[in-house]
Structures are given as structure tokens and as C-alpha cells.
A and B are shown apart, each in its own frame.
Chain A
């Protein structure tokens, strides 16, 4: 059971470049989300999806785009990378159908923008 898989694990970008962070889950979860983690700030929600075709903004959405064409995949796009986007990015998925369900996190993508 793979759970939540993120690729790549590490990436270095130049300012202005674009890239897509991939996230896939194999648990048939409805809910998927992207967070960024910066020192001393915990994790902050970037974008969120409650199912295929439905996305919503989180706390820090500027500079990022998302789409969700399938239940399994939720890619995060940086259209024009900036040094302020240097961070560790985590994808998470969860299921609303049970009371004891929890949010599962991927292994993270460490992004450096130079």
C-alpha cells in the first residue's frame, strides 16, 4: 500500500522557471491538499480539493495553481518560481466517510529557488 506518493523529493529551480510537483494517492480518498512548511511556522495550507474537478484556495495560494482531473492525482504547479517559494511541500489526503479516519501525508518535496 503506497499511500501518498510525492515526486520529486528534491528540486532546485531558477527564479522564473516553472515546474509541477506531483502527488498521487491510492486510498480512494476524496480530500487532497497541499501544504508548505517553513521554519517556525508549522504547515500552511496552499490549495485543497474535495474531489475530482473541485478545488479551493487555502491560506497561502498566491503563486500556485492546482487542478484535479482524477481522484488519485493532485499536482501543484509553480508558474514562475520565486525565492519566497523555497520551502518543503507536503501533499495530504483524507477520507470523510469514517469518524476515525485521519490525514495521511506524503514524504515531502524540498524545493529551493535560486
Chain B
């Protein structure tokens, strides 16, 4: 059974600081997603990571994937208040289970002035 664990679950940051959210998963996967969710809203796709060593960057967010360690990271650089949201990683096992995403618990990020 695929398990996905994120940490930390709660993250309070000061503006301008850097931090990393970790996503560990228990079995091999086809792809890994990072999503952002604002309160009361749907999930907004941030990154899709397909292969070992994949790194993607968008603005102050950078995601990476290490399939050997079964670990993905979401790095936040010089945080700003607008990044306050809940961030989820989700793993797609692929194969006959393609599209059956297993989500982490989510990381609630609050950026303070």
C-alpha cells in the first residue's frame, strides 16, 4: 500500500526566509505532483515531476524528485505573504493504478511579515 508523508505539517515562516517541505513515499511511483490550496478553494497544480533528478522552478518555489530515496522536496526561497497556503504532494503509482493519487497530509504554510 502506497503511503505518502509530508513534513512539517505546519510551517510558520518570516518573510524573506527560506524553508523546505519534504514529501516521502513508500513505493515506486510514475509521477509526483505538488499542489497549492487556498482556504475554501480547489487544488492548483504547481509541479509535475516525472523522473529521478527532476527539478522544476516557478518563482520562489522549486521542487525536486529523488526516486531512489523516494523523496521530493518543495523549497521556498525568500518567502512572501502571498505564499501562505496549504501545500500537498501527491503520488501517482502509474501502471494499472495510473491516476489513483495518494496525497500527503498537507503542509499549512503561514508567512508572517
Q: Is A96 a contact partner of B105 (Cβ separation < 8 A)?
A: no
Q: Mark interface residues in B1-44 (1 if CB within 8 Å of A CB, else 0).
A: 00010000100000000000000000000000101000001110
Pick out which of these stretches binds chain A: B58-66, B76-84, B95-103: B95-103
Number of interchain pairs (Cβ within 8 Å): 61
Return chain A residues, CB-CB under 8 Å to B102: 45, 59
Does B57 interact with chain A (Cβ within 8 Å)? no
Q: How large is the interface on A (under 10, 10 to 19, 20 to 34, 35 or more residues)?
A: 20 to 34
Contact A104/B100 with A40-B105, A99-B50 known, Cβ cut-off 8 Å: no
- Are B99's CB and A50's CB within 8 A? yes
Let me know if B48 is at the binding interface, CB within 8 A.
Answer: yes
Q: Are B33 and A102 in contact (CB-based, < 8 A)?
A: yes
Q: How far is the CB of A49 from chain B (nearest CB, A)?
A: 9
Q: A42-B106, A43-B43, A101-B48 are in contact. List 4 more A-B contacts (CB 8 A).
A: A94-B98, A102-B33, A103-B101, A105-B43
Residues on B close to A: CB < 8 A? 4, 9, 33, 35, 41-43, 45, 48, 50, 88, 90, 92, 98-106
A-B contacts, 17 of them at CB < 8 A, read A33-B99, A33-B101, A40-B106, A41-B105, A42-B103, A43-B103, A44-B103, A45-B100, A48-B100, A50-B99, A102-B33, A102-B45, A103-B45, A104-B45, A105-B43, A108-B41, A108-B42
